[in-house]
Structure 1
Amino acid sequence: MIGKFSVIRWLLLLTWLSLPAHAGVHLYDGEQTQLLADNFAIQHEQSSPFTISDILKRRHEFIYQADNNPNYGFS
């Protein structure tokens, strides 16, 4: 019983070690690029960090792209 458990443990360890350590993430393909400079806005905090209420009050300052927006985690 102990020998069988050790073999299973070793097989699981070898399987885990054979998995890829990382995977590549591509934000664009070879043909298309996305310029991010026009999609950023700097919002200055006054004396304390923004709260959710502050953001909701300033909602009109945020520009939402409705079409052709790949949205790579930025809005």
Structure 2
Amino acid sequence: MSQKWREKFFTEREQIILASLVKDKGRCIENKRTDGTTLQNKNRAWEEITKRYNIQPEVMSKRTSQQLRKLWANLKQK
């Protein structure tokens, strides 16, 4: 299995880590408003979540905020 292929998937533990980090910022990132200030706040929140996520010892591959946003969207759909 190539490293690239493995990087696409998140372990169950990584999903739990993301969910716990989002819980702290949920009010901000789930805000339905789309004005400039709100979008800036959402972007800052996701950058902070990404930094905190990537320093966790259980995280196998460093992720971008876009990857984490996509995972969060997928988790919410489940």
Which structure: larger Rg? 1
Per residue, is there more helix in 1 or in 2?
A: 2
TM-score, reference length from structure 1: 0.33
TM-score, reference length from structure 2: 0.32
